[in-house]
Amino acid sequence: MVKVVRATQLELDTAVQALRDGELVAFPTETVYGLGAHAGHPGALRRVFELKGRPNSHPLIVHLDSQRFLTRWAREIPPAAEKLAERFWPGPLTLVLPRAAGVNPLVTGGQDTIAVRVPSHPMAQQLLTAFGGGIAAPSANRYGRLSPTRAEHVRDEFGDAVRVILDGGECKLGLESTIVACLGGTVRLLRPGAVTLSQLRRVVGEVLTQPSAQSPRVPGSHGAHYAPATPLAIVPGNDIEELAAQLSEGGQRIAVLAQRPPLGTYRFVTWINAGQRVDAYAHDLYAHLRALDRAGCARILVQEVPGDERWDAVRDRLRRAAAASVAEPADDDDSLAVGVLP
């Protein structure tokens, strides 16, 4: 059972004042920790992009404490969006809608759309209610790297650069929100998350899954993303142990994230058994990858996860992490490229 953690009044007052002053506040959501800025403060928004090293063309998600404030940010709320908000908010669903006229273009990445959600974490709700406005918050990590699921991850990432970090314990889900665009009379899934395609379709009927030329840019949609610093490859389950043993024979340290224990003992292999339960695997994924990243290994081998819908979000994050390793290889050895899923 996830422990419910709430902020003290002093912590809350400090965080709210920091936001109003244009400072950044890291806070927990049920998905990952966010790097929050006053969504109407241009200086604070610029600070988010600077600190993360994030391109200005990448939009931010505006977090609200309630659906009742949605009209301040979106000029149109299609019936499908209303149904999805009614069913899944507060929760791990982000809706992309036509932006309202007064929204700062830094929030939207210069687009005519805005991404919004209502998180369910009690500390996020406390902060949003006390602040009384929208908080623009991407994940609290350097651009393209692993999202934080604990306050200590944010401290490791940014040190003293973020003065206020609200510690709400471990995030319940551990992967970023599902993103759905409700635009032009269609509903389109743009990023998988805890809210699955089947769940979406049960609420609104048809949901498109392939991006179109008109699809807006959304957080986490870059082909190479969510990556540890250590090169990562995805390997079929039947091959992973043999490959780890082979690569470590000369004394090279190899890390493995698998869904089972190893069958043998290998001196230079660091092995994590993440198990076969999708909820537990997703919850621990970034923490496990951070641990393996710190292990001083030359490679991280990840066992290919199942292909069914429940694993869509995990599979998406791993594919993007592997793509980042291919885009920026650590050396000239491309022997693991075949282990990366297309």
Question: Which residues does 313 contact at the CB level (< 8 Å), separation at least 6?
Answer: 175, 176, 178, 192, 193, 194, 282
User: What is the overall mean pLDDT for the chain?
Assistant: 93
Q: Could you give the 3-state DSSP secondary structure of residue 35? A: strand
Q: Where are the domains of the chain?
A: 9-204, 232-339
What does the pLDDT average to over 268-285?
98
Q: Which residue in 142, 68, 73 sits closest to 112, CA to CA?
A: 73
The DSSP letter of residue 3 is P
At residue 225, the pLDDT reads: 84
What does the pLDDT average to over 86-101?
98
Question: Which residues does 339 contact at the CB level (< 8 Å), separation at least 6?
Answer: 233, 234, 235, 236, 239, 243, 301
At residue 335, the pLDDT reads: 46
Q: Which fold has domain 9-204?
A: DHBP synthase (3.90.870)
Residues 158-195 have pLDDT tens digits of 999 998 999 999 999 999 999 999 999 999 999 999 99
The DSSP letter of residue 159 is G
Q: Where are the alpha helices (DSSP H) in 169-217?
A: 197-204
Q: Within a 13 Å sphere around the CA of 169, how many CA atoms are in the beta-carbon half? A: 14
Question: Which residues does 231 contact at the CB level (< 8 Å), separation at least 6?
Answer: 298, 299, 300, 325, 329, 330, 336
Q: Where are the alpha helices (DSSP H) in 113-167?
A: 122-131, 151-158
Structure tokens at 223: 């082909």
pTM metric for this prediction? 0.93
Share of the chain above pLDDT 90, in %: 87
CA pseudo-torsion sign 17, 46, 160, 293 = positive
For 232-339, CATH gives: 3.40.50.11030
Instruction: Classify residue 298 by burial, with Cβ atoms within 10 Å: 0-12, 13-18, 19+.
Output: middle
